[in-house]
Amino acid sequence: MKGHFEEWTSNDLSVINTLFGKVQGTIQEKAAFDVLDIEEFKNLIQNLAQTPEWQKYPELQKWAKTPHRVDRYFEGYGLLYRIIAGWGFNFATTNALECLNMLVKSGQKKMALHDLIIHLLDYVTKQIQSAAMTLIGTSKYHLKDLSKMLKRQN
């Protein structure tokens, strides 16, 4: 995938680095494909497409102006999708809280602190929403093991 952009831009590092970042020492600088929200990514690409560096490359402009291609690249190579794919996780359909806990524990080893805080805030928000859904649910809940039932003592 990176090869497409290198080909379209004749390997212009100023453009490649805005998309993929670069490593300085032990720190990976954040770039467009490190954004977690698709709307933020689209806005960033549209803003970058207006810069003189990007205006020089017609194939890059064509890509930036084709919404379904931008979406496809984000969903195939964005940070969230790389974390999930790299660790082999899929979004859970039955046990979302445990899935989120696993993702929080697994994919955060080399993330910059300010990015980690944003990422954890997103997970915490999703967990609170999931917990709140149990309070307004219409299904009856029961313990799998009735021996764990708390009994009131008089």
Which two three-digit tokens encode residue 6? 């290198």
Pick from 87, 105, 122: which residue ends a domain? 87
> What's residue 129's pLDDT?
74
Give the tokens for residue 48. 């970058």
- State both tokens at 105: 């524990």
- State the total domains in the chain: 2
Residues of the chain with pLDDT under 70: 1-2, 82-110, 127, 130-144, 148-150, 153-154
pLDDT recorded at residue 47: 94
Distance CA 10, CA 57 (A): 9
Q: What residues make up the domain containing 63?
A: 1-87
47 Cβ contact partners less than 8 Å away, ≥ 6 residues apart: none
Q: Cβ neighbours of residue 89 under 8 Å, at least 6 residues apart? A: 99, 102, 103, 106, 107
61 with 96, same domain: the answer is no
8-state DSSP, 57: -
Position 45 scores a pLDDT of 94
